[in-house]
Amino acid sequence: MREGGGQNESLDTQDPQIGVFILLLVVLPARLHATGPSITSLTPTSGAVGASVTIAGSGFGSAQGSTSKVTFNGTTVTRISSWASGSIVGVVPTGATTGNVIVTVGGHASNGVLFTVVPAPVISSLSPNSGPVGASVTITGTNFGSPQGTGTVSFNGTLATATSWIATSIVATVPSAATTGNVVVYASGVNSNGVSFTVLPTPNITGLLPTSGPVGTSVTISGSNFGASPGSSTVTFNGTAATPTSWGNTSIVTPVPVGATSGNVVVTENAVASNGVNFTVTVLVSQLDAYITVAYTPVGGSYAWPSQRALAIGSDGFSRFVTGDSSAGNNDDEIIYVRCLDLDCSTSHTSTIEIGPGTDEYSMALGPDGYARISYTTWDPAKVPPGHYALLGYIQCYDDDCTSFSNTGVDGTSDNEIDSIAVGSDGTAYIVYDYGNDSCPPDDWDCYPQGVGLAACSNGGCGKQQIAAISVFDGMWAVITVDTTGNPIVVYSDTGNANPYKPESINYYSYSGGGVLSSSDGYWGPYDVSLGPDGFARIAYDPDIGPGAQFVQCMDSACGTNSTNLISFPFSSPSYANVNVAPDGTTIVTAEYNTGNGGRSLDYLLCSAPNCSDYKDQVVPVPPGSSSWEWWASAALDPGAPAARMIAQLIVVPSLR
């Protein structure tokens, strides 16, 4: 509008047409800017060339127009897999470098969001480059990233489990469905180069024929994937290499090698081990040796002898044993404890335990701490109450050499010579002994016990009870072991008459029950009792049927069901016999007996059958010059040795008797 016709003009903002013009001039550019592309996030925010990246945001348009594009630090993406208004998926282009990702739509560029371009993973080697399913493979290279994150390893397309992952090394396990082909590492959004890996077939043993036998037995191994020829492949018996006589992909024939022990047979083909199948190596007596060692020479001599066991083998594989001796001017007043420092006991440590005159019998076992527990009887008048014959004593050692020990008088009414000891897994020592006879006149050594006693000792203290009654003037003999729960098992005899050497019955006692094993007359009664791998007892006793020992395999915890077999000896019945059962069930019975004409021998028997029906024996002569009463034997089994190499170390101690 003009005023006064002058030259000055001004915009009339009240004019409706002018108002619309201003609105279009101000608002339209703002609306155009608001509908342009905008990036809110990238997934992932880093990756290698070729990695797929999802760009989230808005204003991208429902489809990629001819003027729309995505750039990585100025390099245009040539591979777009999807394009929508709020999301774009593209591949990091070749030549891309670290910098902003920008989306351009209709000539309008979005904001920029940083993306880091990293090198692609590269595999340089595999170690090993072949192996079976389950083998561990080390993948060496670069740019694997650390930690693993979304990275993967595949064997010819089958995903594997990585047990270790760093930027330059991955350890992975060959997966169960893997086949021969390339190993590939996926990292930083892309796959590495592929490196070939050969999946080897795993040898598989399906059977052995036979499944047991001695060294030299020909064994056929059936299965698959053994290979057509042995090459560098092997067969082992519990780790001992065999020499096959024939080899095929599904069958191998080989003799049991010298030195083999019971355990798994394994075939290894191309460094791949098969499953293991158990083979029991049975032992021929001719393959064993028995060591007889004069390991201690008594200073003053002794009439004392073992009641049951006087020998044990420690965790070092060397023996510990006890014997009696006499100091100057005294008679049978010492218990000698010997710890051997080598296999044949050529060197040892010796401890002398003063008991008092009249040591009669003794027995020893090792506790779970490896230290000795010793029981003994003595007729020392200073310790035995009037009217009784003997005192039962208990020694607990507190070190390897028994230089520190406690000596406890357990029962002063013990009226015979029996004191057999065994130790439970909790360290409790159980001693079976004659319970005494309060009706005996003073100093009547022929007055026999009235009961079977059982003492339980721990930490130098003992409790006692009578577990069975024996009639007045009856004799008894008893042996003991402990069951798998640490509770005692006792086998004892009852003469039933005044002759102590004619047992009327052999009896079994345990916390689970018991009863009479035999009501036949015998001579000594029970020799020994041990526990088999089934947790049930194995017993040997004198049946007084010629020169032999009756062997009993208990088939339940009360021995109510059992199997028996008579073991015959070439000469007399044994004076002593020890029963030891290996973890694989092999039984070793060691007996000592009179060969006549003043000679003594040890008989070493091996049994594979649980009732010892297949026993084989080897006589081991005692060294020349021994008189008929010079040798008392005890035997033990090395707990660390497999059955096939067991040597019962027979520590034979001379005495004056």
Residue 113 shares a structural domain with residue 126: no
Written as one string, the DSSP assignment of 518-529 is: E-S--SS-EEEE
Question: What is the per-residue burial (b if ≥16 Cβ within 10 Å, else e) of 630-639?
Answer: bbbbbbbbbe
Last residue of a domain, one of 134, 165, 199: 199
pLDDT at 59: 93
Residue 518 shares a structural domain with residue 633: yes
Phi, psi (deg, nearest 5) at residue 569 = -115, 155
Residue 340 shares a structural domain with residue 224: no
CA distance linking residue 591 with residue 141, whole number of Å: 68
Residue 76 shares a structural domain with residue 178: no
Residue 555 shares a structural domain with residue 624: yes
Q: Is residue 10 part of a domain?
A: no
CA distance linking residue 541 with residue 452, whole number of Å: 17
pTM of the model: 0.60
Q: Is residue 374 part of a domain?
A: yes
CATH code at 74?
Answer: 2.60.40.10
Q: Both tokens of residue 538?
A: 């194995």
In terms of residue numbers, what domain contains 233? 204-282
Tens-place pLDDT, residues 84-139? 999 999 999 999 999 999 999 988 999 999 999 999 999 999 999 998 898 899 99
The CA distances from residue 365 to 66, 296, 453, in Å, are 96, 19, 18
Residue 405 shares a structural domain with residue 478: yes
Cβ atoms of 238 and 260 within 8 Å: the answer is yes
Distant-in-sequence, close-in-space partners of 125: CB < 8 Å, separation ≥ 6: 139, 140, 141, 195
Residue 335 shares a structural domain with residue 430: yes
Q: Is residue 570 part of a domain?
A: yes
Residue 269 shares a structural domain with residue 370: no
Tens-place pLDDT, residues 349-399? 999 999 888 887 889 999 999 999 999 988 888 888 776 777 889 999 999
Q: Is residue 17 part of a domain?
A: no
pLDDT at 287: 52
Q: Is residue 8 part of a domain?
A: no
Last residue of a domain, one of 199, 227, 262: 199
pLDDT at 293: 62
Tens-place pLDDT, residues 148-206? 999 999 999 999 999 999 999 999 999 999 999 999 999 999 999 999 999 988 899 99
CATH code at 385?
Answer: 2.130.10
Residue 189 shares a structural domain with residue 231: no
Tens-place pLDDT, residues 426-462? 999 999 988 765 555 555 555 555 678 899 998 878 9
pLDDT at 439: 53
Q: Is residue 5 part of a domain?
A: no
Q: Both tokens of residue 78?
A: 């040539």
HEC per residue, 321-383: EEEEECCCCCCCCEEEEEEECCCCCCCEEEEEEECCCCEEEEEEEECCCCCEEEEEEECCCCC
How many domains does the structure of the chain reveal? Answer: 4
If one compares 560 and 619, the residue with the highest pLDDT of the two is 560
Tens-place pLDDT, residues 300-331? 767 677 777 888 888 887 888 888 888 876 77
pLDDT at 199: 93
